[in-house]
Structures are given as structure tokens and as C-alpha cells.
Structure 1
Amino acid sequence: MDSTLLKGLMVLERVVAADAPVGVSALARDLGLPKSNVHRTLSSLREAGYVGYDADSRHYYPSLKLAQMGNRIAARFPFQTALLPLLQQLVSGTGESAHFVYLDGESVMFACNALPPTSVASVIPDNLTLRWDDTAFGVAIASALPDHAVKSLLGAAKVDPMARARLDAARAEGVAVIRRHDTRRIFEIAAPVRSGWDTVIGAIGITGPAMRFSEDRLEVLQQAVRDFAEQAFAETARLRQADRKTAQETEKVTGS
């Protein structure tokens, strides 16, 4: 592998993962790289249109080009192939429908769903889009976002008055809960899924008919969803660690 390319990707990933625009010194410290290398890499990324630059603060941030690329990938990513086996495990453990959802602007999209083998179940179609505040999955994602992103979501027009309270509860408990949705007549339990790159990639959770919801089951279902989100995080962290190990080994080979 090209060690220069790998360094560039490491820098870009760190810029994307940062909660705010970040400077050369912070990046160099976090990545253990010389400032001159980081500055040179950022200059190349800026020239290619992958990062922007704030001249006043001398900090770098992800460009609109990256956001557009991410949207295109999300629209075409084979979620069914990648996530359906995991969701089926969650269905087996809870007896309820399982879903993976990702944030798209001020909305969330149900990218992948799995149903339990029962005649009475919550059915949510693939690619259904809802306002983030209209579902526990959107609240779960928002609960793990940086403060500036949450402020932007809460500042949008027509936000559900209950959104802030649900958001606070989700942050405290690590899981968002809607006991009975007024329109869909289902209960929803969801937790944010983090990546090994310190970012939130979506939310995973379950839904079921409101008539089947029970406070006695709530704690067990909440824990199941939390555990599953942690498993998803552990897998992405493992992949991230493997990438770092490969980069380090490549660095040794090319440097020798």
C-alpha cells in the first residue's frame, strides 16, 4: 500500500470525526505525525476539494463535496446484504421487528428491516423517511451527535415539543423510547450506533404493536437494543484497529 495515501486518509478521517473545525497542531498530536506532514496533506486535500479552510481560525473542516459523496454512498449502499443478518439476530432475541436507520438532513431513513415470524408485527417499509423527531430512531441518533448538530436539529421548524425531553432521556439512558406513537400505534426502542472513527453512523432498534408493549418488558428490551448497538460498534472498532495495524506495518516496510 502507498503509505502517503494511507496518511492522507487518516488525516481526512480525523477531520471528519472532529466535532468542530480542527487545526494542524491538534491533528498532528492526535495522529502522532509531524506538523509539516499534516500541513502538506491538508493542503493536498484542500486542493482536491475534500476539506475547507477557515482563514480566521486556521482550522480545517469537511467540505460539501464529502457530504455529497456520503449521500450518494448511503443511497446505494447494500444495507440489506450488510445488516440483515445482524437485524435477524435482534429479532430472534426480542420477538419484535428490527431496523437500522440513518440520518439524512433533518430526516431519518429506514435502510433495512427484519420481521419476526408472527402474524402480528410492526411493518415499516424499506426506505421510509420520517422527521428525526417523529421516531425514537432519530432521537437516538441525535442523542449521540455533537452539541452544534443537535442545536441545528432542535432549531428547525415544526420540531415535536416532546423531542427535547426524549433527547435528554436518551442521553441519560443510552436508548430512546416511544411507548406508543400516536399515528403509527407502535412502540419504538432505539440506540445510536457509533463507528470506530468516533462518529455516529445511524441507529438500531426494535418496533412492535403498541398493544404488546409492557413496562415489565421495557428494561429487558432496552438492554437488548443497547447490547446490539455495542456489538455493532465493537465490529466497526475492530475493523478500524485492523486498518491502523495494516497502515503501521506498511509504514515499517516502506520506511525500511
Structure 2
Amino acid sequence: MEKTLIKGLDVLEALALSEQPRGVTELAGELGLTKSNVHRLLQTLVHRGFARQDSEAERYSCTLRLWELGAMIAERVELAQVAQSFMRELSEQTQETIHLSILDGAEVLYVAKIDSPQPVRAYTKVGGRAPAQCVATGKAQLAYVPDEQLEPLFPRLEKYTPRSLSSLSALRTELAKVRTQGYAVNRGEWRETVCGLASPIFDASRKVVAAIGISGPIDRLTPAVLRDFAPRVQAGARSLSREMGYAG
């Protein structure tokens, strides 16, 4: 195991469990570390935003960064639990694989899924990732990312299939269409034989927090079938958004 990481986590845990700011000497004594080691670890935690230093008293305490990370994880768990009934309903209506994903930088992270009952189906796994610009749940969320943040996310667009978007201008055009119609489409842009459709999920603060969508073989989810399924996916996303407190 990485000893430096373990020591850093020990220091962070000691700060989190303490009701008062802690000094280097007392932390070193409590944890059985040298003062120089504790000082270096604390400076790293301060640099990364997990701790703050009282410069006059030379004492340290936790910031809210741990709470922020924990709240993000709790929100994902809550969202996945709330979404189950809506995902089941969509699964029964479409007989296709249903995904719930969140945006993590330039990728989507799948947090829940229901497999299609059909023998030929789209393959993904909970905890798996996909390039956001290539899949429907990714584009549904990217459509609400501020425009000035897109270029840092996508300094270049990798082509996974001949249908992948190849430029930032093409992506911007696609995302504008998503905002207008209320759903996004993947036309075999990540895996050539798989396509899908998804709509964004909003929370009480009108922020997009996830997307729900369907995916399946491209020869089964034809453009006509996707158009037929679009209102059902949108309805599921709207219902789930209301459950998350969205009043729009």
C-alpha cells in the first residue's frame, strides 16, 4: 500500500474528527509521525482545498470539501434510487436497455441501468464510462454546459466511428438542436452498431444533474422507432425531474 497516501488520510481523518483546529505537534504525537512529515501532509491538504491554516496560531482544520464530495455521492445514490420506477416503466414501454448517467468532465458515468429483455441488446455496465459527445445521455447533459466550458473539455474530438462528431463547431450545432427538441440522439457515434436517445434530468435549482435514455442495436432502433420513443423518454425525464424538485 502507498504509505504516504495512508498517512495523509490519517491526518485528514484526525482533522475531520476534531471539534477544534489541530497543531502539527499534537497531530504528530497522536498519529506517531514526525512533525516534518505531518507539516508536509498538511500543506498538501491545504493546497488541495481539504484543509485550511490559521496562520497566526499555526493550527489546521478541515474545509467543507469533504462534505461537498460526500454530498455529491449521496446525491448520486438518491438519484439512482428515485429513478428506478421511472426506468422500469421506460423499460416496459420500449423493451430496450435503459441508462441513467451523470456527466463527469468529458465523460458520462453510468450510475444505473436496466437491461433489455431482448437477446440482442446494448452492452454497458454500472460504473462504466463513455465519451460524452458520442452518447445520447452525454449530449443531453452537455447541451446545458456553458459554451465557454466546452472548448477546455474538448480540445480535440476523437472519432470512434465514421459517425462521430469531429469538430467543436459540429458539437455546438448538435447541442443547440438538443436544447430545442428536448432530447439527444446517438447515431452509432461511439459503437457503430449501437444507437440511443436520452433526455436531461433537472433538479430543484434548474441544474441538469443526470440524463435518462434508451439504447439498442441500430437495426432495431431505426430513426422512425427513435422518433416514436422520444416522447416516452422525455416524459420519463420530466417525471424524474419533478421528483428531484424541478418545477419548470
**TM-score under structure 2 normalisation?**
0.62
Which of the numbers 188, 196, 200 marks the counterpart of 1:192?
Answer: 200
Q: Per-residue deviation at 1:128?
A: 0.8
Alignment of 1:50-65 (within 5 A): 65=65
Q: Bigger shift: 167-176 or 81-90?
A: 81-90
Q: Deviations over 1:66-117 (max 9, x none)?
A: 654455446x726654433321111111121111000112211011000232
Change in 2 beyond 3 A, CA 1:78/1:67: closer
Please state whether the residue corresponding to 1:203 is helix, strand or coil.
strand
Number of the residue aligned with 1:158: 157
Structure 2 residue 139 is matched with structure 1 residue 131? no
Distance 1:168 1:116 in 2: 30
1:221-232 alignment runs, 5 A limit:
221-232=229-240
Q: 1:184 to 1:69 in 2, by over 3 A?
A: farther
Shift of 1:140: 0.5
Residue aligning to 1:97: 97
Give the match's secondary structure for 2:209: strand
What CA distance in whole angstroms lies between the structure 2 residues aligned with 1:79 and 1:235? 9
Letter in 1 for 2:156: A
Over 3 Å counting, the alpha-carbon distance change for 1:236 and 1:78 in structure 2 is closer
Distance 1:119 1:145, change over 3 A: same
Alignment of 1:10-21 (within 5 A): none
Q: 2:215 aligns with which of 196, 207, 223?
A: 207
Q: Equivalents in 2 of 1:173, 1:97: separation in Å?
A: 22
Identity %: 23
CA distance in 2: counterparts of 1:205 and 1:72, whole angstroms: 21
Residue 226 (structure 2) pairs with residue 218 (structure 1): yes
Whether contact under 8 Å (2:196, 2:221) holds in the other structure is no
Paired residue type of 1:98: I
Q: How many angstroms does 1:213 deviate by? A: 2.1
* CA apart distance, 1:145: 2.8
Following superposition, the deviation at residue 179 of structure 1 comes to: 2.3
Secondary structure of the 1:212 match is coil
Higher helix proportion, which one? Answer: 1
Aligned residues: 178
Give CA deviations for 1:135-164 in whole Å, capped at 9, x if unaligned. 12111101123334445434x333642433
Structure 1 unaligned segments of length 5 or more: list them: 1-48, 51-62, 241-256
- What is the correspondence of 1:228-243 to structure 2 with a 5 Å cutoff? 228-237=236-245
State the distance in 1 between where 2:189 and 2:94 align.
Answer: 19
The structural deviation recorded for 1:165 is 3.2
Residue 176 (structure 2) pairs with residue 168 (structure 1)? yes
Q: Which amino acid aligns with 2:222?
A: S
User: Is 1:181 aligned to 2:189, yes or no?
Assistant: yes
CA distance in 1, matches of 2:156, 2:222: 33
Q: Which amino acid aligns with 2:206?
A: D
TM-score normalised according to structure 1 size: 0.60
Supply the AA of the counterpart residue of 1:233.
S
Report the Cα distance in structure 2 between the residues aligned to 1:64 and 1:135, rounded to whole angstroms.
34
Paired with 2:234 and 2:211, the residues of 1 have a C-alpha distance of 10
Would you say the 8 A contact 2:82–2:243 is kept in 1? no
Q: Distance in 2 between matches of 1:149 and 1:208?
A: 30
Partner letter of residue 229 of structure 1?
Answer: A
Larger radius of gyration: 2
Structure 2: 5+ residue runs without aligned partners? 1-48, 51-62, 159-164
| Amino acid aligned to 1:147 | D
